[in-house]
Protein backbone atom coordinates (compact mmCIF):
# COMPACT_ATOMS: atom_id res chain seq x y z
CA UNK A 1 0.00 0.00 0.00
CA UNK A 2 1.54 3.29 -1.11
CA UNK A 3 1.44 6.43 1.02
CA UNK A 4 -0.71 8.22 -1.59
CA UNK A 5 -3.51 5.75 -0.76
CA UNK A 6 -3.44 6.68 2.95
CA UNK A 7 -6.28 8.93 4.16
CA UNK A 8 -6.59 10.30 7.70
CA UNK A 9 -10.22 11.09 8.53
CA UNK A 10 -10.19 13.92 11.07
CA UNK A 11 -13.38 14.32 13.10
CA UNK A 12 -13.89 17.15 15.56
CA UNK A 13 -16.86 17.15 17.89
CA UNK A 14 -18.47 18.43 21.05
CA UNK A 15 -21.38 16.74 22.85
CA UNK A 16 -22.62 14.88 19.76
CA UNK A 17 -22.52 11.28 20.98
CA UNK A 18 -25.56 10.05 19.04
CA UNK A 19 -24.57 11.77 15.81
CA UNK A 20 -20.96 10.63 16.17
CA UNK A 21 -22.20 7.05 16.42
CA UNK A 22 -24.13 7.52 13.15
CA UNK A 23 -21.00 8.95 11.51
CA UNK A 24 -18.83 6.04 12.63
CA UNK A 25 -21.37 3.53 11.30
CA UNK A 26 -21.34 5.33 7.95
CA UNK A 27 -17.54 5.06 7.89
CA UNK A 28 -17.63 1.38 8.85
CA UNK A 29 -20.09 0.69 6.00
CA UNK A 30 -17.83 2.22 3.35
CA UNK A 31 -16.54 -0.18 0.71
CA UNK A 32 -13.02 1.02 0.01
CA UNK A 33 -10.78 -0.15 -2.81
CA UNK A 34 -7.02 0.03 -2.23
CA UNK A 35 -7.30 2.61 0.54
CA UNK A 36 -5.65 2.64 3.94
CA UNK A 37 -7.72 4.59 6.46
CA UNK A 38 -7.08 5.96 9.92
CA UNK A 39 -9.76 7.73 11.95
CA UNK A 40 -8.85 10.56 14.30
CA UNK A 41 -11.37 11.99 16.75
CA UNK A 42 -10.71 15.22 18.64
CA UNK A 43 -13.19 15.78 21.44
CA UNK A 44 -13.49 19.48 22.22
CA UNK A 45 -14.20 19.06 25.94
CA UNK A 46 -17.53 17.18 25.73
CA UNK A 47 -19.53 16.50 28.88
CA UNK A 48 -21.40 13.56 27.32
CA UNK A 49 -20.18 10.05 26.39
CA UNK A 50 -18.82 10.98 22.93
CA UNK A 51 -15.17 10.25 23.71
CA UNK A 52 -15.91 6.94 25.43
CA UNK A 53 -18.24 5.86 22.63
CA UNK A 54 -15.61 6.58 19.98
CA UNK A 55 -12.96 4.59 21.81
CA UNK A 56 -15.33 1.64 22.29
CA UNK A 57 -16.64 1.62 18.71
CA UNK A 58 -15.25 -1.38 16.84
CA UNK A 59 -13.58 -0.55 13.55
CA UNK A 60 -11.43 -2.34 11.03
CA UNK A 61 -9.40 0.84 10.72
CA UNK A 62 -6.78 2.39 12.97
CA UNK A 63 -8.29 4.82 15.50
CA UNK A 64 -6.65 7.72 17.33
CA UNK A 65 -8.40 9.98 19.84
CA UNK A 66 -7.68 12.99 21.98
CA UNK A 67 -9.90 14.88 24.41
CA UNK A 68 -9.46 18.45 25.57
CA UNK A 69 -10.15 19.09 29.25
CA UNK A 70 -12.09 22.19 28.29
CA UNK A 71 -13.73 23.57 25.16
CA UNK A 72 -11.03 25.21 23.00
CA UNK A 73 -12.89 25.75 19.73
CA UNK A 74 -12.76 24.51 16.16
CA UNK A 75 -9.33 25.86 15.21
CA UNK A 76 -7.57 24.21 18.17
CA UNK A 77 -9.46 20.95 17.62
CA UNK A 78 -8.73 20.89 13.89
CA UNK A 79 -5.05 21.63 14.43
CA UNK A 80 -4.82 18.86 17.02
CA UNK A 81 -6.23 16.40 14.47
CA UNK A 82 -3.73 17.58 11.84
CA UNK A 83 -0.87 17.10 14.29
CA UNK A 84 -1.88 13.48 14.96
CA UNK A 85 -2.49 12.52 11.32
CA UNK A 86 -0.07 10.23 9.50
CA UNK A 87 -1.86 9.97 6.15
CA UNK A 88 -0.75 11.82 3.04
CA UNK A 89 -4.30 13.12 2.64
CA UNK A 90 -6.52 14.53 5.39
CA UNK A 91 -10.31 14.29 5.16
CA UNK A 92 -12.07 16.77 7.45
CA UNK A 93 -15.48 15.76 8.77
CA UNK A 94 -17.70 17.15 11.54
CA UNK A 95 -19.07 14.77 14.16
CA UNK A 96 -22.68 15.75 13.35
CA UNK A 97 -22.42 14.50 9.76
CA UNK A 98 -22.55 11.12 8.09
CA UNK A 99 -20.87 9.90 4.92
CA UNK A 100 -22.77 8.89 1.82
CA UNK A 101 -21.88 5.47 0.36
CA UNK A 102 -18.78 5.35 -1.81
CA UNK A 103 -17.48 8.79 -0.73
CA UNK A 104 -14.02 7.41 0.06
CA UNK A 105 -13.74 5.85 -3.38
CA UNK A 106 -14.83 9.19 -4.85
CA UNK A 107 -12.01 10.93 -3.03
CA UNK A 108 -9.66 8.17 -4.18
CA UNK A 109 -10.57 9.15 -7.75
CA UNK A 110 -9.90 12.78 -6.86
CA UNK A 111 -6.41 11.88 -5.62
CA UNK A 112 -5.69 9.89 -8.78
CA UNK A 113 -6.82 12.83 -10.94
CA UNK A 114 -3.78 14.74 -9.64
CA UNK A 115 -5.62 18.02 -10.28
CA UNK A 116 -5.21 19.67 -6.90
CA UNK A 117 -3.97 19.77 -3.34
CA UNK A 118 -7.44 20.37 -1.87
CA UNK A 119 -10.76 18.87 -2.94
CA UNK A 120 -14.13 20.13 -1.72
CA UNK A 121 -17.12 17.81 -1.66
CA UNK A 122 -20.78 18.62 -1.07
CA UNK A 123 -22.59 18.98 2.25
CA UNK A 124 -26.30 18.26 2.25
CA UNK A 125 -28.37 19.36 5.21
CA UNK A 126 -31.20 18.22 7.46
CA UNK A 127 -33.01 21.06 9.22
CA UNK A 128 -36.45 21.50 10.78
CA UNK A 129 -36.71 25.00 9.29
CA UNK A 130 -38.07 24.11 5.84
CA UNK A 131 -37.51 27.51 4.23
CA UNK A 132 -33.92 27.56 5.43
CA UNK A 133 -33.48 23.92 4.38
CA UNK A 134 -34.35 24.83 0.78
CA UNK A 135 -31.67 27.50 0.89
CA UNK A 136 -29.04 25.22 2.44
CA UNK A 137 -29.56 22.55 -0.22
CA UNK A 138 -29.84 24.99 -3.12
CA UNK A 139 -27.88 24.19 -6.28
CA UNK A 140 -26.68 27.81 -6.21
CA UNK A 141 -24.55 27.28 -3.07
CA UNK A 142 -20.96 26.12 -2.63
CA UNK A 143 -19.23 23.44 -4.67
CA UNK A 144 -22.61 22.03 -5.79
CA UNK A 145 -22.73 24.54 -8.64
CA UNK A 146 -19.26 23.64 -9.98
CA UNK A 147 -18.46 20.72 -12.34
CA UNK A 148 -16.42 17.88 -10.90
CA UNK A 149 -12.70 18.56 -11.35
CA UNK A 150 -13.05 22.31 -11.93
CA UNK A 151 -11.16 25.02 -10.09
CA UNK A 152 -13.02 26.23 -7.00
CA UNK A 153 -12.85 29.73 -5.55
CA UNK A 154 -11.13 29.67 -2.17
CA UNK A 155 -14.23 31.05 -0.42
CA UNK A 156 -15.93 27.66 -0.84
CA UNK A 157 -13.23 25.57 0.86
CA UNK A 158 -14.29 24.45 4.36
CA UNK A 159 -12.89 22.09 6.97
CA UNK A 160 -16.06 20.18 6.37
CA UNK A 161 -16.05 17.35 3.82
CA UNK A 162 -12.80 18.52 2.30
CA UNK A 163 -9.72 16.48 1.40
CA UNK A 164 -6.42 18.32 1.71
CA UNK A 165 -2.91 17.01 1.17
CA UNK A 166 -0.82 16.81 4.33
CA UNK A 167 2.06 18.79 2.81
CA UNK A 168 -0.12 21.91 2.70
CA UNK A 169 -0.10 22.00 6.51
CA UNK A 170 3.69 21.69 6.56
CA UNK A 171 3.79 25.16 5.02
CA UNK A 172 0.55 26.73 6.26
CA UNK A 173 -0.69 26.53 9.83
CA UNK A 174 -4.13 27.44 11.11
CA UNK A 175 -4.53 30.91 12.58
CA UNK A 176 -5.26 30.50 16.29
CA UNK A 177 -6.47 34.09 16.60
CA UNK A 178 -9.82 32.84 15.33
CA UNK A 179 -11.20 31.66 18.65
CA UNK A 180 -14.84 32.47 18.00
CA UNK A 181 -17.27 31.59 15.21
CA UNK A 182 -16.43 31.90 11.52
CA UNK A 183 -13.71 33.20 9.23
CA UNK A 184 -10.95 30.73 10.05
CA UNK A 185 -11.63 28.61 6.97
CA UNK A 186 -11.84 31.62 4.65
CA UNK A 187 -8.55 33.02 5.98
CA UNK A 188 -6.77 29.67 5.62
CA UNK A 189 -8.18 28.98 2.14
CA UNK A 190 -7.09 32.46 1.02
CA UNK A 191 -3.51 31.73 2.08
CA UNK A 192 -3.64 28.26 0.53
CA UNK A 193 -4.74 29.68 -2.81
CA UNK A 194 -2.05 32.36 -2.64
CA UNK A 195 0.66 29.75 -1.94
CA UNK A 196 -0.68 27.07 -4.32
CA UNK A 197 -2.54 28.84 -7.11
CA UNK A 198 -5.57 27.03 -8.60
CA UNK A 199 -5.08 23.89 -6.52
CA UNK A 200 -8.53 23.93 -4.86
CA UNK A 201 -10.78 21.60 -6.85
CA UNK A 202 -14.52 20.92 -6.76
CA UNK A 203 -15.52 17.27 -6.27
CA UNK A 204 -19.33 17.32 -5.80
CA UNK A 205 -19.72 13.55 -6.15
CA UNK A 206 -18.22 13.20 -2.65
CA UNK A 207 -21.18 13.85 -0.34
CA UNK A 208 -21.93 14.03 3.37
CA UNK A 209 -25.14 14.99 5.17
CA UNK A 210 -25.16 17.35 8.13
CA UNK A 211 -27.91 16.45 10.60
CA UNK A 212 -29.84 18.70 12.99
CA UNK A 213 -28.64 21.94 11.45
CA UNK A 214 -29.74 25.06 13.42
CA UNK A 215 -32.66 27.14 12.18
CA UNK A 216 -32.38 30.41 10.30
CA UNK A 217 -32.61 32.64 13.38
CA UNK A 218 -29.88 30.68 15.20
CA UNK A 219 -27.60 30.93 12.18
CA UNK A 220 -28.12 34.69 12.03
CA UNK A 221 -27.08 34.90 15.68
CA UNK A 222 -23.87 33.06 14.88
CA UNK A 223 -23.16 35.45 12.00
CA UNK A 224 -23.74 38.40 14.32
CA UNK A 225 -21.15 36.88 16.68
CA UNK A 226 -18.78 36.50 13.72
CA UNK A 227 -19.23 40.17 12.83
CA UNK A 228 -18.27 41.27 16.33
CA UNK A 229 -15.29 38.90 16.77
CA UNK A 230 -13.44 36.89 14.10
CA UNK A 231 -14.47 39.20 11.26
CA UNK A 232 -12.25 41.87 12.83
CA UNK A 233 -9.21 39.61 12.40
CA UNK A 234 -9.64 39.30 8.64
CA UNK A 235 -7.42 41.51 6.51
CA UNK A 236 -9.08 44.21 4.42
CA UNK A 237 -9.18 42.11 1.25
CA UNK A 238 -11.07 39.33 3.02
CA UNK A 239 -13.38 41.77 4.79
CA UNK A 240 -14.35 43.04 1.34
CA UNK A 241 -14.80 39.43 0.18
CA UNK A 242 -17.41 38.99 2.92
CA UNK A 243 -19.13 42.39 2.78
CA UNK A 244 -18.61 43.27 -0.94
CA UNK A 245 -19.60 46.94 -0.53
CA UNK A 246 -16.81 49.05 1.00
CA UNK A 247 -19.07 51.86 2.21
CA UNK A 248 -20.80 49.41 4.59
CA UNK A 249 -17.55 49.06 6.53
CA UNK A 250 -17.74 52.69 7.58
CA UNK A 251 -19.14 52.90 11.06
CA UNK A 252 -21.56 55.80 11.30
CA UNK A 253 -24.96 56.32 12.86
CA UNK A 254 -26.86 56.50 9.57
CA UNK A 255 -25.54 53.23 8.12
CA UNK A 256 -25.98 51.47 11.47
CA UNK A 257 -29.60 52.70 11.77
CA UNK A 258 -30.44 51.66 8.20
CA UNK A 259 -28.96 48.22 8.83
CA UNK A 260 -31.03 47.70 11.97
CA UNK A 261 -34.16 48.63 10.03
CA UNK A 262 -33.22 46.36 7.11
CA UNK A 263 -32.55 43.48 9.51
CA UNK A 264 -36.06 43.74 10.94
CA UNK A 265 -37.68 44.03 7.50
CA UNK A 266 -35.72 41.08 6.08
CA UNK A 267 -36.67 38.87 9.03
CA UNK A 268 -40.35 39.64 8.47
CA UNK A 269 -40.02 38.97 4.74
CA UNK A 270 -38.31 35.66 5.47
CA UNK A 271 -41.48 34.40 7.16
CA UNK A 272 -43.92 35.86 4.61
CA UNK A 273 -42.27 35.16 1.25
CA UNK A 274 -42.89 31.61 -0.02
CA UNK A 275 -41.14 31.85 -3.38
CA UNK A 276 -37.86 29.91 -3.12
CA UNK A 277 -35.93 32.11 -5.54
CA UNK A 278 -36.89 35.29 -3.70
CA UNK A 279 -36.27 33.64 -0.30
CA UNK A 280 -32.75 32.72 -1.39
CA UNK A 281 -31.79 36.37 -1.82
CA UNK A 282 -33.66 37.49 1.30
CA UNK A 283 -31.62 34.98 3.33
CA UNK A 284 -28.37 36.17 1.74
CA UNK A 285 -29.25 39.78 2.54
CA UNK A 286 -30.16 38.89 6.10
CA UNK A 287 -26.81 37.11 6.55
CA UNK A 288 -25.02 40.27 5.44
CA UNK A 289 -27.14 42.38 7.75
CA UNK A 290 -26.40 40.01 10.67
CA UNK A 291 -22.64 40.28 10.16
CA UNK A 292 -22.88 44.07 9.94
CA UNK A 293 -25.04 44.18 13.05
CA UNK A 294 -22.25 42.48 14.99
CA UNK A 295 -19.55 44.55 13.30
CA UNK A 296 -21.25 47.85 14.15
CA UNK A 297 -21.71 46.79 17.78
CA UNK A 298 -18.00 46.85 18.62
CA UNK A 299 -15.14 49.29 18.29
CA UNK A 300 -12.56 47.24 20.16
CA UNK A 301 -10.51 44.10 19.48
CA UNK A 302 -12.31 40.75 19.70
CA UNK A 303 -9.67 39.72 22.26
CA UNK A 304 -11.30 42.07 24.74
CA UNK A 305 -14.86 41.01 23.95
CA UNK A 306 -16.49 38.47 26.22
CA UNK A 307 -17.87 35.62 24.13
CA UNK A 308 -18.20 31.85 24.08
CA UNK A 309 -15.50 29.99 22.18
CA UNK A 310 -16.77 28.57 18.88
CA UNK A 311 -17.13 24.94 19.89
CA UNK A 312 -16.63 22.15 17.40
CA UNK A 313 -20.33 21.50 16.85
CA UNK A 314 -21.06 25.10 15.86
CA UNK A 315 -23.02 26.00 12.74
CA UNK A 316 -21.07 26.06 9.49
Same domain, yes or no: 59 and 89: yes
Inter-residue contact 301 to 232 (CB < 8 Å):
yes
Mean pLDDT for 140-156 is: 94
Same domain, yes or no: 46 and 145: yes
Task: Pick the last residue of a domain from 179, 195, 210.
Answer: 210
Inter-residue contact 93 to 10 (CB < 8 Å):
yes
Q: Residue 266 domain-assigned? A: yes
Kindly report, residue by residue over 94-110, the tens digit of the pLDDT: 999 999 999 999 999 99
Same domain, yes or no: 23 and 124: yes
Percent of all residues in the chain with a pLDDT value above 70, rounded to a whole number: 93
Q: What is the pTM of this model?
A: 0.92
Q: Residue 314 domain-assigned? A: no
Same domain, yes or no: 59 and 176: yes
Q: Residue 313 domain-assigned? A: no
Q: Residue 311 domain-assigned? A: no
What pLDDT is attached to residue 35? 86
Task: Pick the last residue of a domain from 190, 210, 230.
Answer: 210
Q: Could you give the CA distance from residue 293 to residue 255 in angstroms, rounded to a whole number?
A: 10
Q: Residue 235 domain-assigned? A: yes
Which domain, by its residues, includes 226?
Answer: 216-304
The torsion of the CA quartet 47, 53, 54, 60, rounded to 10 degrees, works out to 180
For the domain that residue 99 is a member of, what is the CATH number? 3.90.550.10
Q: Residue 312 domain-assigned? A: no
Structurally, how many domains does the chain consist of? 2
Kindly report, residue by residue over 30-56, the tens digit of the pLDDT: 988 778 999 999 999 999 999 999 999
What pLDDT is attached to residue 310? 57
Same domain, yes or no: 151 and 273: no
Same domain, yes or no: 96 and 240: no
What pLDDT is attached to residue 304? 45
Task: Name the nearest CA neighbour of 261 among 235, 286, 281, 231.
Answer: 286
Amino acid sequence: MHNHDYISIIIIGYNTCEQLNTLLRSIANQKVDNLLIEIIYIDDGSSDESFKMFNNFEMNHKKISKKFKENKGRVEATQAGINLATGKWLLFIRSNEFLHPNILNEYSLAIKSNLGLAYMGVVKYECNDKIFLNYLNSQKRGSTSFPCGSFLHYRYLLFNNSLIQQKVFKQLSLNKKFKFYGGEELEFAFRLNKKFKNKIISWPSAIVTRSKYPNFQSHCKRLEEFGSTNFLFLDNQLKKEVIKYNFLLRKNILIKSVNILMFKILNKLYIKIKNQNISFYIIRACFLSSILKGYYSVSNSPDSKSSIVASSQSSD
